[in-house]
Amino acid sequence: MNSRRKAIKNLMLGSVAASGLTSFTMEDNETFRKKLKGNINHSACRWCYSSIPMEELCQGAKDIGLKGIDLVGPKDWDMLKKYDLVSTMCNGAEINLVDGFNDPKFHATLIKNYTEMIPLVAKAGYKNLICFSGNRRGKDDETGLKNCTEGLKQIVGIAEKNGVTLVMELLNSKVNHKDYQCDLSNWGVELCKRVGSENFKLLYDIYHMQIDEGDVISTIKEKHQYFAHYHTGGVPGRNEINETQELYYPAIMKAIKDTGFTGFVAQEFIPTWTDKLAALKQAVGICDI
């Protein structure tokens, strides 16, 4: 009889999981939000929910306890403020992902863009502004480091003056961003050392770095002082961060917490569920250690 009850229970749990429901998503939002422990400052990347109108996303984010939304530029800052949310990682100064600081021919445009954007970020009360290395296009590691350092040093003083951190994202060059130069944490850390400012750090994207180098928890423990921000994502596929993928996010979040990190962790997976906000809610629950 006990074995039968256990089997029935397992079948029921399997049906719940298959339907996309979990103990997190089945709770009403108010109960879920009140249970958040406060050890992780939760956010989510705007582009992953581009099919959802901005105001609806803001309302949904607020309902499940997010502190803000990532990769939001000036045109949507008023909407964030309406819902008492912040732009946890501002964008809008970059050219794109492939034309970055590692090529001097883009420096003039980038320096102009960032010189104008940094004070806007500060005026809005935000702290982080994203930037990118750009693609290699045949440049070796040393050349890319030298060029990035020269370009970034021309704007990092403005960032210091305004209390804004320039954050370069680590992206994988194996699957998603072929030829991207800042694709390993060691390269990014070396760039931080050369720029030599607390106002230039890295965005450690857990999904991307699992693909290109692995050893996620050890890297976080050893190099956390260079990481200003974190992104999530399921590996493989960049979808939900639940049992469908290979990373165990509660342990990763514990490692982040144990470093004393007080910044933001943003969900950057592409939801496969019909109810995309329910998928986001599940991910927040998984990461709320």
Q: In angstroms, rounded to a whole number, what is the distance separating the alpha carbons of residues 250 and 247?
A: 9
Residue 15 has pLDDT above 60, yes or no: no
Q: Mean pLDDT score of the chain, rounded to an integer? A: 94
Is the pLDDT at 148 greater than 80? The verdict is: yes
Residue 19 pLDDT > 50 = no
How many alpha carbons fall within 13 Å on the CB side of residue 124? 28
Better-predicted residue by pLDDT, 238 or 24:
238
**pLDDT one-digit tens code per residue, 189-206:** 999 999 999 999 999 999
Q: What is the mean pLDDT of residues 152-171?
A: 98
Whether the predicted pLDDT of 20 surpasses 60: no
∠285-219-288 over CA atoms, to 5°? Answer: 10
Position 26 confidence tier, pLDDT thresholds 50, 70, 90: confident
At 4, is the pLDDT very low, low, confident or very high (cuts 50, 70, 90)? low
Q: Max alpha carbon distance in the chain (Å)?
A: 75
The domains of the chain, with CATH numbers, are 92-207 (3.20.20.150)
Produce one character per residue of 40-75: b if its CB has 16 or more CB atoms within 10 Å, e if not: bbbbbbbebbeebebeebbebbbbbbbbbbbbbebe
How far the first Cα of the chain sits from its last, in Å, is: 36
Whether residue 186 is predicted with pLDDT greater than 90 in this model: the reply is: yes
Question: Helix 141-152 vs helix 185-195: angle between axes, to the nearest 10 degrees?
Answer: 40
Banded pLDDT at 2 (limits 50, 70, 90): low
Nearest to 44 by CA among 34, 35, 54: 54
pTM (2 decimals)? 0.92
Looking at the DSSP assignment, which residues form a beta bridge with residue 87? 69
Statement: residue 61 has pLDDT above 90: yes
